[in-house]
């Protein structure tokens, strides 16, 4: 069977695309790598900026999006996509998984992104033993303990605020002298007595025995090296786009994101990008679902032109 559209990824962008594809009566499947839909939103304790649903739990929002897809009859396939390519006719898209190759007239790429690592000694060794990339997932294990959050964007600041609810002390470590997070989040951090910001500082090493016990720090301006006793380190220094499966099909920007405008259209006719995988100004749930809707509209226009 040749589908009208194959959607790769089941985060907010992929699920929104699935909803719009079914409403447009397009033959489609959603291929998801994980057994639970939602993408990174599943690891968000509280989503307070999604219009109409203030304070909703991230997992609940992901489930609502999935349920909406299922209500409309969307078909899900659990598999890891290995490659997206063109068939010999130069028009049909081939989506290859480990067990099967699917064919489609169009493809929506909604693979999202993954957490960026610090790449310092001890990080891999203590992953799951004090080093975490999801404060909302693991924060409960550090009640009344001392933790550090590394980063300066929205996620890092939100993580620090979340951890401060249960931790005795939270250090927010940032390599620059100002945060990149939204102003309202910065205000909350500065007002929180449990949170201390360490400016112009980078983590050089993570140490301990069976668990994280301390981290090595260096001030970028003075060069001074110090050690900080902590029980946990939460890394929030950005994401890496999951674009490996299209490196042979599309040109990526310097950071590995797919170049596509608001319509989702890429350089390849019939191939569209939506959500965190796309090069754009703002990566939020609300922009991801918008991308998914726009991509399906572009798919319809493309199919009508064939």
- CA–CA separation, 5 vs 52, rounded Å? 30
What residues contact residue 75 under an 8 Å CB cut-off, 6+ apart?
28, 29, 30
The pLDDT confidence band at residue 289, using thresholds 50, 70 and 90, is: very high
Catalytic pick among 4, 69, 138, 154: 138
How many structural domains are present in the chain? Answer: 2
- Decide if 167 is catalytic: no
Domain range for 103 is 2-114+239-305
Catalytic pick among 48, 69, 89, 137: 137
Asked whether residue 218 falls in the same domain as residue 123, the answer is: yes
pLDDT score of 303: 97
- Decide if 137 is catalytic: yes
Asked whether residue 214 falls in the same domain as residue 131, the answer is: yes
Once rounded to an integer, what is the mean pLDDT over residues 223-248? Answer: 95
- Decide if 134 is catalytic: yes
Asked whether residue 125 falls in the same domain as residue 223, the answer is: yes
Q: Which of 151, 101, 120, 294 is nearest to 215 (CA)?
A: 120
Instruction: Tell me the whole-structure pTM to 2 decimals.
Output: 0.79
pLDDT for 62 beyond 90? yes
Asked whether residue 248 falls in the same domain as residue 104, the answer is: yes
Catalytic pick among 134, 154, 159, 167: 134
The DSSP bridge pattern shows strands 113-115 and 131-132 to be unpaired
108-145: pLDDT as tens digits: 999 999 889 999 999 999 998 999 988 877 898 999 99
pLDDT score of 36: 86
- CA–CA separation, 284 vs 301, rounded Å? 26
pLDDT score of 138: 85
Asked whether residue 63 falls in the same domain as residue 50, the answer is: yes
* Average pLDDT for the chain: 94
């Amino acid at each position: 069977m040749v589908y009208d559209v194959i959607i790769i990824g089941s985060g907010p962008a992929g699920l929104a695309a699935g909803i719009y594809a079914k409403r447009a009566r397009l033959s489609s499947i959603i291929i998801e790598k994980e057994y639970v839909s939602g993408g990174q939103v599943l690891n968000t304790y509280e989503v307070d900026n999604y219009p109409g649903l203030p304070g909703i739990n991230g997992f609940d929002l992901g489930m609502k999006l999935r349920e909406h897809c299922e209500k409309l009859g969307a078909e899900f396939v659990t598999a890891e996509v290995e490659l997206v390519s063109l068939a010999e006719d130069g028009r049909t898209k081939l989506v290859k998984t480990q067990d099967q190759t699917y064919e489609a007239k169009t493809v929506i790429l909604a693979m999202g992104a993954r957490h960026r690592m610090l790449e310092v000694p001890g990080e891999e060794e203590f992953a799951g033993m004090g080093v975490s990339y999801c404060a909302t997932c693991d924060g409960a294990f550090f009640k009344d303990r001392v933790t550090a959050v590394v980063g300066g964007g929205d996620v890092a600041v939100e993580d620090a605020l979340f951890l401060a609810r249960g931790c005795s002390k939270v250090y927010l470590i940032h390599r620059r002298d100002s945060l990149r997070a939204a102003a309202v989040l910065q205000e909350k951090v500065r007002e929180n007595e449990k949170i201390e910001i360490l400016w112009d500082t980078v983590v050089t090493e993570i140490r301990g025995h069976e668990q994280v016990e301390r981290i090595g720090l260096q001030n970028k301006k003075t060069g001074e090296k110090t050690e900080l006793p902590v029980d946990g380190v939460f890394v929030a220094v950005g994401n890496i786009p999951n674009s490996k499966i299209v490196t042979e099909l599309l040109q990526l920007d310097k950071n590995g994101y797919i170049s596509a405008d608001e319509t989702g259209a890429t350089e390849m006719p019939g191939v569209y990008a939506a959500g965190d995988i796309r090069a754009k100004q703002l990566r939020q749930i609300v922009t991801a679902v918008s991308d998914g809707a726009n991509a399906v509209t572009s798919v319809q226009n493309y199919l009508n032109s064939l």
